[in-house]
């Protein structure tokens, strides 16, 4: 079994995979209040409930975009098991099937997305990740990362409005029936959800214009189903693409280390 962990700015997602098949998945908040002891306890508790033994884990792959939590989670994992830990960072990128550019700055989650998408399509592709940030990661036919576009995620955009504008109500992330909002909630919903629908379409058009036709597009992330008017835009949807990419990274690094 392989334990993969994707630590993001909002949530940390953990998955257990066996022979490439997902067996278990857990989601925990990414919070500084959780030190290594708390992480160790939470992970061990989830394992116990799912009847997963730490002795069954053969490899761990960790991607984190929260530097302060990376060391805490890694230390927690070392408390639970002595099995090999692969941390997705610049030190391992040369061992992957894709070519990573600007190795220091790019997030491990985007690399995992690129690895998984290129494994699926074996051609130029774009991964649209609907998470805390809305990211567009482009990969060329030869597996080289062409570049990334990043915008605030849907929830992040709404949260920013609520934080910096007085007297705004809480806004559920739903697509309204009309762009002509009749109250504050509808107005924000229209601006964010319908506006982001247009942004996704336009950015994909620009990426296609720069990379050429015949490009595959895959959507992932926890909010990928929020925007309703994107049918036909994506060749595939995979909510757990990042985790699958981490599994592949573990396999590719394991091959080069033997």
Q: Exactly one of 109, 214, 229, 235 is catalytic; which is it?
A: 109
Cβ neighbours, 10 Å, residue 250 = 24
Residue 16 CB partners (closer than 8 Å, separation 6+): 1, 2, 3, 22, 23, 24, 25, 50, 52, 57
| 210 and 136 Cβ atoms separated by less than 8 Å | no
Strands 59-64 and 133-139: unpaired
- Rounded to whole angstroms, how far apart are CA atoms 256 and 1? 19
Q: Please, which residues bridge with residue 126 across strands?
A: 138, 217
- Rounded to whole angstroms, how far apart are CA atoms 7 and 100? 20
109 is catalytic: yes
Could you tell me how many helices (H) and strands (E) the chain has, helices first?
Answer: 7, 10
Residues with catalytic roles: 109
């Amino acid at each position: 079994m392989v334990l993969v962990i994707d630590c993001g700015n909002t949530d940390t997602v953990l998955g257990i995979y066996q022979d490439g098949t997902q067996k278990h998945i857990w989601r925990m908040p990414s919070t500084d209040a959780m030190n290594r002891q708390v992480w160790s306890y939470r992970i061990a508790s989830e394992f116990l409930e799912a009847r997963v033994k730490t002795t069954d884990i053969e490899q761990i792959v960790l991607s984190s975009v929260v530097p302060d939590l990376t060391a805490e989670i890694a230390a927690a994992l070392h408390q639970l098991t002595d099995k090999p830990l692969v941390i997705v960072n610049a030190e391992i990128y040369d061992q992957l099937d894709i070519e990573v550019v600007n190795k220091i700055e790019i997030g491990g989650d985007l690399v995992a997305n690129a690895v998984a998408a290129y494994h699926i399509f074996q051609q130029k592709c774009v991964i649209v990740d609907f998470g805390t940030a809305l990211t567009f990661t482009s990969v060329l036919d030869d597996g080289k990362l062409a570049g990334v576009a990043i915008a605030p995620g849907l929830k992040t955009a709404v949260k920013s409005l609520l934080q910096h504008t007085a007297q705004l109500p809480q806004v559920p992330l739903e697509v309204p029936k009309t762009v002509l909002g009749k109250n504050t909630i509808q107005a924000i919903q229209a601006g964010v959800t319908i506006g982001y629908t247009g942004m996704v379409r336009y950015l994909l058009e620009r990426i296609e214009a720069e990379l050429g036709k015949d490009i595959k597009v895959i959507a992932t992330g926890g909010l990928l189903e929020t925007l309703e008017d994107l049918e036909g835009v994506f060749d595939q949807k995979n909510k757990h693409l990042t985790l699958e990419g981490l599994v592949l990274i573990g396999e590719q690094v394991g091959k080069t280390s033997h």
